[in-house]
Amino acid sequence: MSVSPVKALRGTLSLPGDKSISHRSAIIAALAYKGTSRITNFSTSEDCESTLRCLEQLGVKVMREAAATVCIEGAGAKGFRAPSEPLNCGNSGSTMRMLAGALAGHDVVATLTGDESLLTRPMKRIIQPLNQTGAHIQGTMDRAPLTVLGRQPLSAIRYELPVASAQVKTAILLAGLNARGRTEIIEPNATRDHTERLLSWFSIKVDSKTIDDDGTSKTRTALEASQPFAARDVAVPGDMSSAAFLIAAAAAFPESELLITDVGLNPTRTGFLSILQLLGGDIELRNVRNEFNEPIGDVYFRGRYKFEPQAPRANLIRGSLVAQVIDELPILAVLGTRLLGGIEIRDARELRVKESDRLAATVTNLRVMGAEVEEFEDGLKVRGPCQLQGAVLDSYGDHRIAMAFSVAALIATGTSEIKGADCVRVSFPEFFRSLESVSER
**What DSSP string describes 268-310?**
TT-HHHHHHHHTT-EEEEEEEEEETTEEEEEEEEE--S----S
Which residues are within 8 A (CB) of 283 and not within 5 positions of it... i.e. 6 or more apart? Answer: 247, 273, 276, 277, 299, 300, 301
State the pLDDT at residue 318: 95
- Where along the chain do the CATH 3.65.10.10 domains lie? 2-16+237-440, 19-223
What's the mean per-residue pLDDT of the chain?
95
Q: Is the pLDDT of residue 71 over 80?
A: yes
Q: Is the dihedral of CA 93, 94, 95, 97 positive or negative?
A: positive
306 pLDDT more than 90: no
Considering only CA atoms, give the Rg of the chain: 21
Integer Cα distance of 101 and 129 in angstroms: 10
pLDDT higher than threshold 80 for residue 250: yes
Report pTM.
Answer: 0.95
d(CA 200, CA 110): 28
CB atoms < 10 A from the CB of 212, how many?
Answer: 8
- Are the beta carbons of 178 and 153 closer than 8 angstroms? yes
pLDDT for 100 beyond 80: yes
pLDDT at 81: 94
| Cis bond before residue 83 (omega within 30° of 0) | no
- Distance, in Å, from the CA atom of 94 to the CA atom of 73, rounded to the nearest integer, reads 21
pLDDT band at residue 311 under the 50/70/90 scheme: confident
- Using the Cα atoms of residue 8, residue 12, residue 17 and residue 18 in order, give the sign of their dihedral: positive
Pairing of strands 373-376, 379-382: antiparallel
Three-state DSSP class for 203?
coil
Question: Contact, 392 vs 419, CB < 8 A?
Answer: yes
In the residue annotation, 327 being an active-site residue is answered as yes
Quickly state the pLDDT bin for 212 (edges 50, 70, 90).
confident
Q: Which of 76-80, 122-126, 200-204, 412-416 has the lowest mean pLDDT?
A: 76-80
Q: DSSP class of residue 362?
A: H
Please report the pLDDT score of residue 214 as a whole number: 73
Q: Which of 193, 239, 262, 327 is catalytic?
A: 327
pLDDT of residue 367: 98
Alpha helices, H only, 86-191: 93-104, 124-132, 166-176
Residues 402/394, Cβ–Cβ less than 8 Å? no
Q: Write down the CATH number for the domain with range 2-16+237-440.
A: 3.65.10.10
Task: Round to whole Å and give the CA distance between 95 and 99.
Answer: 6
Question: Cα 318–320–323 angle (5° rounding)?
Answer: 90
**Helix axes 46-57 and 19-30, enclosed angle (nearest 10):** 10
- Beta-carbon contacts of 86 under 8 Å, excluding residues fewer than 6 positions away, are 110, 111, 112, 113, 145
- 302, 303, 304, 310 alpha-carbon torsion, rounded to 10°: 70
How far apart, in Å, are the Cα atoms of 407 and each of 58, 106, 255, 290, 413?
Answer: 39, 44, 16, 31, 12
Note the CATH architecture for domain 19-223.
Alpha-beta prism (3.65)
Choose the weakest-confidence range: 305-319, 358-372, 416-430. 305-319
Q: Which residue type, as a one-letter code, is found at position 306?
A: K
